[in-house]
Structure 1
């Protein structure tokens, strides 16, 4: 019964259920909870059913069916609060869901439902104060997004400053970020990122918008952006690099709702403020780079394509967000500078990009204010004074990813890191801090075979105190390298045919690795005489796995096949006609 109920709740067309169907599902779940209170296995499965039910509450959807579902689930958890407390994961998702839905129910007709949601969130938060700090840094963001609500304003003001600082360093639990996306929405976004080329993104996003953003999305956009940045992880480097394109489409769908725009921009720059510059775990540092990479790419590429409004707004939001916590301005400013410094060392952004941003935005704004903002954020990288804080050497430890978080007063907040992307299998020795690290890895090339690095001997480390004295890279990298540190092994670069194109062309094309054809072509065998007109020679052709020309290549193969088939059928038709003529001639004779 519970297995069938789970399939029923996770059905991708759940939004098409009628109000009567939803009411019967809730009645069945309530009866199962009442009958299986003592059965551990049954309760565990019911927790999963309730978690799936929470994910089916669509953000930004104020239709009658969705409001009924939200109201029914809320009343169920109010009655079964004791049962809810037995599962910490479901407790986190419940609070995160209803705290996010409060923003969508701001209309006067939803005032009663909004009041119930506020009271319920405050009630479970007060009863399990310590448990909710395991959610991570997005708990602070969620509370600040609802500062207009007095209950939430009181909660965030009551949290001690040292606990806030500790929470900012803790990664948000992935299942909390994923809980704001329905199953079909999650599947569509993942499929678009991993299975399609850049040229198909616009068409696929239009389909996604029609199905999931047809109603006024408003605050749902911020939740999707947080999922793309902090929760979505894939071994597909192409999908990870193209996240900023999806975010760019999402930003253009917000409309003129200034509050939703501010929430979306804060969702983009939030991880800059939380970058842990004192952490010595390179896996945590790399995770921080994954979180800030889409924002950097969005700023740089919009500046290069002369879409300066988005880049200007993001930089101003990043600068103004430094004052998000009174008394921690210097700490957060150093986090932003350290994140930029590490991004340059991994070639996500270059000094030339910063100079281009400053020049173009100053011309666009027509004043010197944006120049002062860029100078405050990244001036230490352009003017080359020594940084005020030292960043750790990025080495790959043998232990798994574990966030090192200082314990707050009377509050335990262990980090639960999930979706580890790279195994820590290679252990490199620590090196003296007085050595200077050369430029990081660039894209590999086929001009000459790369040299094999000798990992047995010591390697120079990255001395961030002397980072500004190094020759910083002027070319952006395509992805965060798999290695834990930039290598000093000379690696050639792939010759890209679109290097001189604009950024608009760059986002609509990908690199194609061209393998030259051999000088000695192979003639067509005699047994294939029929195809000699179409296949004069067999030649070697190679297409890279990430090329958008695969569709065109398949069309050419299909066209060749059809031409051959048509030619063969033409010959057969002529033979048949000739046979019929001979037959009639013989009969006539």
Structure 2
């Protein structure tokens, strides 16, 4: 019988994809050894052969090169069928794959890049999503190491054929570095950190235009790494010496070019695993208020119950704000609203550092909001959380409003007027579109300090901001 791809508990049914690959391999095993048939396969036979070869490469490393040669000889669709199978495997089975299979999978991904297999970029992005946040376990560090090495070795090919993947890699490894720099200093982690820093600095210094593809979240991630000399120097150049990034056909004049570029939801998805995304979307589309607590507890136990895992909450809040935009039908129903889930996540944070970063993730799009390019759904959860917390949880409203005023005052003092305009226009649009009826619920709230309410009034009016 063919070797398994996953470590599946006895009580759990085998995944349908794994079953199809294994059965294809078993049925065609005799024809997977030289000499290969020269007959042209039918479409069904072609699909079956692709499945069999994929299973063979993953479970027979000693014959992997033979299987790949066989694939090269029969491919007729630019490797699209094969790469799609590989993508499904990563999306649906990666966490359960045996260590030896994972090794073969990354090797195989490298091979598909070499032949420019159609869709290999999607496989790379999916593998980046499998890097877990706030996880310094051996398996996670191994995947980081293999992928950062792959990106460096395939640099020229990716730069020419799929440069967008390098911007995804930059976003991922900037975020991952904040975890690795926080971890215990051990030799293997130090080696990995140097590789990750080298890749990120290479992308920023040599291909700065790819950073602009990320948009404003690029600056947010850089600021989390300001204690690393290389990134401190980059941030200093971006703010004070932007011309060093200019190349032929590209001119970078000011950090505001990045501030005013909204970060695509594709980047927010990078730091949420497919499994976590499925569970979050289920919570926000199928669970009614009143029945949500046990689902939240289950989610916390599965994804947030380990030391340092609370740092993942920052990524989750960014995902909810930027990548999960519910329909009007769901908004008007009694399904758990986004603001309620974020409120629960905020109260789940144990350290002040994480709380501050979660609030920044919640309000970040407010600072540079421009209704011509930004989406009102990105700023909706924050204002609804403040408004709905007034009756029973006014301390949350107080903390969020105080943080917002402090943020406008101090985030970028040189561009404070820009921040005032962004936050003011955000509030005005939220009222104009009916997300909230008016700001009176905040400005007239007796439980909020007068200085805070006065600061809010001046901010909305676009005047001088003063936090309490």
TM-score, normalised relative to structure 2: 0.72
Distance 1:351 1:198 in 2: 25
8 Å CA contact retained: 2:420, 2:459: no
Structure with bigger gyration radius: 1
What SS does structure 1 have at the residue aligned with 2:385? helix
Q: How does 1:98-177 map to 2 (within 5 A)?
A: 98-105=173-180, 106-107=182-183, 108-109=185-186, 110-160=189-239, 163-177=254-268
8 Å CA contact retained: 1:194, 1:236: no
- Cα deviation for residue 96 of structure 1 reads 0.5
Q: How does 1:415-430 map to 2 (within 5 A)?
A: none
Relative distance call for 1:341 and 1:2 in structure 2 (3 A) is closer
Q: What is residue 28 of structure 1 aligned with on the other side?
A: 108
Are 1:81 and 2:155 an aligned pair? Answer: yes
Q: What is residue 369 of structure 2 aligned with on the other side?
A: 275
What SS does structure 2 have at the residue aligned with 1:316? helix
CA deviation profile, 1:408-449 (whole Å, cap 9, x unmatched): xxxxxxxxxxxxxxxxxxxxxxxxxxxxxxxxxxxxxxxxxx
Deviates more, 1:67-76 or 1:25-34: 25-34
Deviates more, 1:91-100 or 1:199-208: 199-208
8 Å CA contact retained: 1:18, 1:65: no
Are 1:93 and 2:168 an aligned pair? Answer: yes
Correspondence for 1:9 among 76, 85, 90? 90
Q: What is residue 133 of structure 2 aligned with on the other side?
A: 59
Correspondence for 1:211 among 296, 302, 305? 302
Q: How does 1:76-475 map to 2 (within 5 A)?
A: 76-85=150-159, 86-105=161-180, 106-107=182-183, 108-109=185-186, 110-160=189-239, 163-215=254-306, 216-239=308-331, 242-255=337-350, 257-276=351-370, 281=372, 284=373, 287=375, 289-305=376-392, 307-322=393-408, 323-349=410-436, 350-357=438-445, 359-362=446-449, 371-379=450-458
Distance 1:259 1:68 in 2: 28
Distance 1:204 1:192 in 2: 7
8 Å CA contact retained: 2:343, 2:385: yes
8 Å CA contact retained: 2:368, 2:418: no
Correspondence for 2:124 among 50, 55, 68? 50
Distance 2:286 2:355 in 1: 29
Distance 1:314 1:96 in 2: 27
8 Å CA contact retained: 2:167, 2:214: yes
- Cα deviation for residue 388 of structure 1 reads 6.2
> How many residues are matched?
360
Distance 1:203 1:83 in 2: 48
What SS does structure 2 have at the residue aligned with 1:104? helix
Q: How does 1:574-585 map to 2 (within 5 A)?
A: none
Which fold has the larger relative contact order, with Cα–Cα distance below 8 Å and residues 6 or more apart in sequence? 1
What SS does structure 1 have at the residue aligned with 2:119? helix
- Cα deviation for residue 196 of structure 1 reads 1.9
Q: What is residue 36 of structure 2 aligned with on the other side?
A: none
8 Å CA contact retained: 1:225, 1:267: yes
- Cα deviation for residue 237 of structure 1 reads 4.1
Q: What is residue 460 of structure 1 aligned with on the other side?
A: none
Deviates more, 1:233-242 or 1:88-97: 233-242
- Cα deviation for residue 379 of structure 1 reads 4.1
Distance 1:166 1:150 in 2: 24
What SS does structure 2 have at the residue aligned with 1:232? coil
Distance 1:163 1:329 in 2: 15
CA deviation profile, 1:469-509 (whole Å, cap 9, x unmatched): xxxxxxxxxxxxxxxxxxxxxxxxxxxxxxxxxxxxxxxxx
CA deviation profile, 1:164-189 (whole Å, cap 9, x unmatched): 22322221122111111111111111
CA deviation profile, 1:510-539 (whole Å, cap 9, x unmatched): xxxxxxxxxxxxxxxxxxxxxxxxxxxxxx
8 Å CA contact retained: 2:106, 2:146: yes
Deviates more, 1:135-144 or 1:91-100: 135-144
- Alignment RMSD (CA, Å): 2.3
What SS does structure 2 have at the residue aligned with 1:328? helix
Distance 2:267 2:459 in 1: 37
Unaligned runs of 5+ in 1: 363-370, 390-589
Unaligned runs of 5+ in 2: 1-81, 241-252
Correspondence for 2:143 among 63, 69, 72? 69
What SS does structure 2 have at the residue aligned with 1:133? helix
- Cα deviation for residue 247 of structure 1 reads 0.7
Relative distance call for 1:28 and 1:380 in structure 2 (3 A) is closer
TM-score, normalised relative to structure 1: 0.58
8 Å CA contact retained: 2:387, 2:397: yes
Distance 2:352 2:459 in 1: 32
What SS does structure 1 have at the residue aligned with 2:272? coil
8 Å CA contact retained: 2:214, 2:264: yes
- Cα deviation for residue 5 of structure 1 reads 1.8
CA deviation profile, 1:533-552 (whole Å, cap 9, x unmatched): xxxxxxxxxxxxxxxxxxxx
Distance 1:351 1:236 in 2: 22
Distance 2:299 2:264 in 1: 25
8 Å CA contact retained: 1:300, 1:311: yes
Correspondence for 1:18 among 64, 88, 98? 98
8 Å CA contact retained: 1:336, 1:377: no
